[in-house]
Structure 1
Amino acid sequence: MLKHKNKTAFSFLLAILLLSAQSCKKSFLDVPPQAQQTSETFFTTAADATAAVNSVYANLRSFDQTAFGAIAVESVPSDETEKGSSPSDAAFFNLYDNFTYTSTEGQVFGFWNGLYQEVNLCNQVLDNVPAINMDAALKARYIGEAKFVRAYTYFRLVRAYGGVPLRLHVPADQTQYNIPRNSAAEVYAAVEQDLTDAASVLPQSYSSADVGRITKGAALALHAKVAMYQKKWADVLTYTNQVMGLGYSLFPNFEQMFRIANENCSESVFEIQCQSFPNVIGASTSQYSQVQGVRAQTGGGWGFNVPTTALVNAFEPGDPRMDATIIFRGETTPEGDKVDPVGDNPRYNQKSYVPFTVPFVQNEGEDQNIRVIRYAEVLLMNAEAANETGNSAAALNSLEMVRARARGSNAGILPKVTTTDQTALRQAIWHERQVELAMEFDRFFDVVRQGRGPAVFGAKGFKVGKNELMPIPQSEIDLSGGKLTQNPGY
């Protein structure tokens, strides 16, 4: 299968790279693992650079970044999802649903730790690859790919925790490990610089052997999203307009766009590549789909992160995206799976769904890529920025592209939005983001950046001045000797 051959390019040497920044002191116990290369002798050849960059990609699908940590921090606090699974299984998710989590809860640390492991991998590339004697163009591209991933990782950190320690190099000695928090503005500035650098060197597209690697369009699109969170609307407009000129298009079938057969399609701007690797555990195999899969006797997954009634009610009458986003208990999926009519949960995430018959080595759905940025989101960011800068005509045009794809040939649903009133159009664009991007781990942060946290999440327990951010893990504060400070309210 050709598409799997493309994904196989992302092999990795995580053991060397993850461990190299963890030791503070030497001792007679610091013996390198047998048959493994040490980090000090690793970064010498072009092949080493390739392996190091591939490790950056591979670790993006790690458990903390795509499963429990991400679900707890980025999804369950919203109004569109709740814990799911059986009532007694992983009950800690309920703490995130009702905003009673504390700084010592495991997923607060797990998400933080998973992202900083990713930062470490990026920094090793950025510190060491420039000195390698290799093809200059390939070297520049590898540096751009690592800068994009570091920017993506810090963006997830800053929107979840606010200002965080900004580490742009591998610590050279013990004194450089314990650093204080930077301000959110400083983190955002570093993210934007990395994305500017990445966009300047990354190609617009790749040959078939490298499909799935990060492109110029991905760097521009993520830069637009980062600017949107800072309300830099002119920048959002600039970056999205550039992406809109790069040849992306909406995939005709919304539901099928999320299936394995249509990974890296015309709408894909950035998606995390996932594939089975026999006899390799940990970050090599994704549990993104397994954790969210239909909890059923006939197959599927664990049944976490399930859609709420509020999400069902958010869709306009007849919107086909509802059935393409939500698997209802008792239904038969488009791929022919009969979902049990009884069970713990009335609904499941269809965007992460993999048919029960798809074979796997370790985890159900481990071949399912994770869609991170789609062209539809670029259009909606463009619409929002155009409206905020007073260009309602451009906003309506981009908004209509998204609604037209969803509408298809059924002219009786999803009528065109025609209002030019800025407030009303803003609400229409926000609503379109909710239904178009549902279950894609953005809803909570969208509502917070829009200033609507109390109105939307107040009934769940959201507190103003506190729950806009997650707490800094208490274990990290303790290890810092108090150099790290806690967010308000925790």
Structure 2
Amino acid sequence: MKRIHYIFLLSFIGLASCKKVIDLYPESNLNTETYYSNLDEVKAGLTGAYNSLQKLIYYEWQLTELRSDNTKQGNPGSTSSNNRDLSDLDMFTPSTSHGAIYQYWLTSYNSIRNANLILQKLGVKYDPAAGSLSFQSISIPITDADRKQLAGEAMFIRAYNYFNLVRLFGGVFLNYEPLTPEQAKTMNRVSAAEIYKLIEADLKTAAVNMNTLKFNQIAGADLGRANGWAAKGLLAKVYLTQNKKSEAITLLNDVKNNSGYALLTGANAYANVFSTTNEMNSEIIFAIRFKAGGLGLGNLLPNVFAPLSSGSAVIAGDGDGLNYPTNDLDTVSMGDPRRATNIGVFGTGSAAKLYVKKFIPPQPSVNDDTENDWLVLRYADILLMLAEAQGFSQPSIDLINGVRTRAGAMAYAAGALSTVAQFEQALSTERRIEFSFENQRWFDLVRFNTTLTTITAEQAMKDHFAREYYNHYRQYTAPALTLAQLQSNVTKEHLLLPIPQREIDTNTSLVIPQNPGY
């Protein structure tokens, strides 16, 4: 069983009778004005910041994996509003008032606010002009080592949120300290470059202030918390996304050579990465942790992904069938040992359906309450990012082969990848299979637009629609689209999502620009 910290946020504050005429710090505001007064309270607040990431994952797959060539909405003939919302994302036609987009946006900024509160109490100040962070004097009785470790974790959480936001929406609102609603209305969107400046500052500062113990030296109680290696790994991906390959290579080699994280070995190495009995193993650098047991902290996505009307045959409580593997991903995965972990088949004959198997626990579980952690950064990602950053070369092919062979797949023979195009296709396919359904594929495709020379997100998605049109997309009737119409939805502008219209409409102080194409 995992060890995970829980926070129950001052549920009974305000129950005492009010006898004072003037109350400088009302009891209902203790969590922001006076609560963070010692180490334990800062740790509790940080746990709340970690827990805020759980809700993000419920929406993230809809904005990433579903928009990629890995998965599709499970019931194209449905006219229900929930399924139609998924279809709109799947077909690149979301409205500016799309519910999941707004909920993801709102949840991300709530999580950022949690991190900002902790950083403010720990005296962390961001200078947007310099793009740097500094530690100011504070009155909380806390050691310098604890202060820097906890601040680094909050920086990591803030950077993680902003990294996803900037990749999904482009330039967004830059909130680096707690704001009142009135203050927030005076802040407009900034450029993506300004967002990346904060992300880099957070992760660089976190990397040098958090612990960098080797994996086998990390205390059990700290497994799952961000550390210096997680900050370096995520920063490397930030650099790679911006095509800063040399900076990424330096960090990736550091994690590869010095962190103590490593690929698993053995007959079932790949499956064991995701096993609920092998959590936070040597391949997992950072994960969003979940805890089953009726605590409200269980993972509900296995039920969301299990096939519709499967009863208890696949998972307790039936499945929702909202996120099905594409036939193309299944074809690409044929012959690869990882397919058995990633993709399941429910039913027989013409009624057989593929489903996302990767996160469904083998043991009985309660409906919407499984133990599965959500893996954000893995050691295999470090190796494959290094191959991507280095480009076509034998050392890069060796890195791909190392990931393949630990999963039981055949290594590429000498000379099998003899051109840049062959290498880049092998890298893309390797990442696609290795990280199937982990919300990586969409971000990979968009990043490939700048890091690779022969693969683009736009062409990959047009090819996807062509491959899946006759068995899936032509079944849509609201609206019914020809293949040409469907492919025309894939534009450079639509690689970004729309800014939630509610943000634009409710701000009476500023004119907030919408993303082009919406």
Scaled to the shorter chain, the TM-score interval is 0.7 to 0.9
CA 59–418 in structure 1, closer or farther in 2 if over 3 Å, else same = same
Aligned to 2:272: 256
Give 1:32 deviation, angstroms: 5.9
CA 116–344 in structure 1, closer or farther in 2 if over 3 Å, else same = farther
Give per-residue Cα distances to partners, 1:171-221, cap 9 Å, x unaligned: 157234431111011111110110001110111243112211112111111
Aligned to 1:478: 505
The equivalent position to 1:140 in structure 2, one of 128, 144, 148, is: 148
- Once the two structures are overlaid, the 10-residue window that deviates more, 220-229 or 250-259, is 250-259
Q: Given the alignment of the two structures, is residue 218 of structure 1 paired with residue 222 of structure 2, yes or no? A: no
Tell me, what secondary structure is at the counterpart of 2:355? strand
The equivalent position to 1:271 in structure 2, one of 279, 284, 287, is: 287
Give the letter aligned to residue 326 of structure 1. I
Runs of 4+ in 1 over 4 A off after TM superposition: 13-16, 30-33, 341-345, 413-418
Aligned to 2:341: 324
CA 85–478 in structure 1, closer or farther in 2 if over 3 Å, else same = same
Give 1:405 deviation, angstroms: 1.2
Residues 84 and 344, structure 1, Cα contact 8 Å, conserved in 2: no
Aligned to 1:108: 101
Residues 269 and 373, structure 1, Cα contact 8 Å, conserved in 2: yes
Aligned to 1:292: 305
Aligned to 1:349: 356
> What is the correspondence of 1:48-197 to structure 2 with a 5 Å cutoff?
48-62=41-55, 65-67=56-58, 69-84=59-74, 88=78, 90-91=82-83, 92-130=85-123, 131=138, 132-171=140-179, 174-197=182-205
Give 1:445 deviation, angstroms: 2.1
Equivalenced residues, count: 445
Give 1:227 deviation, angstroms: 0.9
Counterparts of 2:119 and 2:446, CA distance in 1: 33
Residues 224 and 237, structure 1, Cα contact 8 Å, conserved in 2: yes
Give the letter aligned to residue 337 of structure 2. P
Aligned to 2:482: none
Give the letter aligned to residue 210 of structure 1. D
Give 1:135 deviation, angstroms: 2.0
CA 53–38 in structure 1, closer or farther in 2 if over 3 Å, else same = closer
CA 474–172 in structure 1, closer or farther in 2 if over 3 Å, else same = closer
Counterparts of 2:428 and 2:261, CA distance in 1: 22
Percent identity (aligned): 29
Tell me, what secondary structure is at the counterpart of 1:380? helix
Aligned to 2:420: 422
Q: CA RMSD of the aligned region, Å?
A: 2.5
Give per-residue Cα distances to partners, 1:123-159, cap 9 Å, x unaligned: 0100113332212211110000000110011000000
Q: Given the alignment of the two structures, is residue 40 of structure 1 paired with residue 33 of structure 2, yes or no? A: yes
Aligned to 1:358: 364
CA 173–348 in structure 1, closer or farther in 2 if over 3 Å, else same = closer
Tell me, what secondary structure is at the counterpart of 1:371? strand
Give the letter aligned to residue 398 of structure 1. L
Residues 164 and 181, structure 1, Cα contact 8 Å, conserved in 2: yes
After TM superposition, the score normalised by the length of structure 1 is 0.85
Counterparts of 2:237 and 2:117, CA distance in 1: 26
Residues 159 and 199, structure 2, Cα contact 8 Å, conserved in 1: yes
Gaps of 5+ in 1: 17-27, 331-340
- Once the two structures are overlaid, the 10-residue window that deviates more, 154-163 or 472-481, is 472-481
Residues 396 and 418, structure 1, Cα contact 8 Å, conserved in 2: no
- Which structure would you say has the larger Rg? 2
Give per-residue Cα distances to partners, 1:93-117, cap 9 Å, x unaligned: 0001111111111011011111111
The equivalent position to 2:323 in structure 1, one of 305, 324, 337, is: 305
Tell me, what secondary structure is at the counterpart of 1:212? coil
